[in-house]
Structure 1
Amino acid sequence: MEKLKQRWGLTSNFQVLLILIVFSVNGSFAAWIAKPLTESIGLDYETTNPWIFWPVRILLIFFIYQLTLPLVGFVFGQFKFFWNFFTKKMLMRMGFKKFFTKD
């Protein structure tokens, strides 16, 4: 726990616990949301080739996870942590650097 607290700049074990809960809840939430989205674009597990279905489903889960991580973090009172350490870095890597740097 101490290594995580030091690495992430946290102050309490409770905050570490909340962050780990957010990661797990958000993963399940992203997978749950991806199912109807996969079906809405016309891909069904029973009728679609697995070589098409699973890569599309995994990509959807990945993007949904990234988008909902700060929202789930907000629900658990950890928005600032997830915004600064994960979402902001991901958006900067995707080319949105100009929105986060001061000119």
Structure 2
Amino acid sequence: MTWIEKLKSRWGVSAGWQVLVILLVFTCTGFTVMYTKRWMAQWLTIESTWATWMFNILIILPFYQVILLMYGWIFGQFKFFWNFEQKMFRRLMNGFSRKKS
């Protein structure tokens, strides 16, 4: 089984070209966020470690999600990325809502 076949099965897509488009969307999103983050951090003159962490969590993480959906829409895979976002958000919320015994 090739890596494309494994990803098709894992992501529930029917064609190999969809896997390549999804990977392209992740690539474009990563580059966009990386360059934007660098520019924003310089503009805001963030230097301390705690400020960097807060910036990444409060600004960059939501920005990444929006850009991911935007590129997914541009490349015709919005439905996949919308479902991806919902699943990720559910997992994140489940991690915060677990009760400790």
**Same structural fold, with TM-score higher than 0.5 when normalized by the shorter chain:** yes
Q: Does 1:37 align with 2:40?
A: yes
Deviation at 1:53, TM superposition (A): 5.9
| Percentage of matched positions with identical amino acids | 37
More helix by share: 2
State yes or no: 1:28 paired with 2:19: no
Conserved? CA contact 1:34–1:57, under 8 Å: no
- Count of aligned pairs: 89
**Which digits, 9 at most, give the CA deviation of each residue in 1:25-50, with x for residues without a partner?**
1001111222333244342xxxx24x
Structure 2 equivalent of residue 63 of structure 1 = 62
Q: What do residues 45-94 of structure 1 show as CA deviations (whole Å, max 9, x unaligned)?
A: xxx24x3465355434333212211111111111000001x211233345
* Equivalent AA in structure 2 for residue 91 of structure 1: F
Greater Cα offset, 60-69 or 23-32: 60-69
Q: What 5-or-longer segments of structure 2 have no aligned partner?
A: 94-101
Consecutive unaligned residues in structure 1, runs of 5 or more: 96-103
TM-score calculated relative to the size of structure 2: 0.70
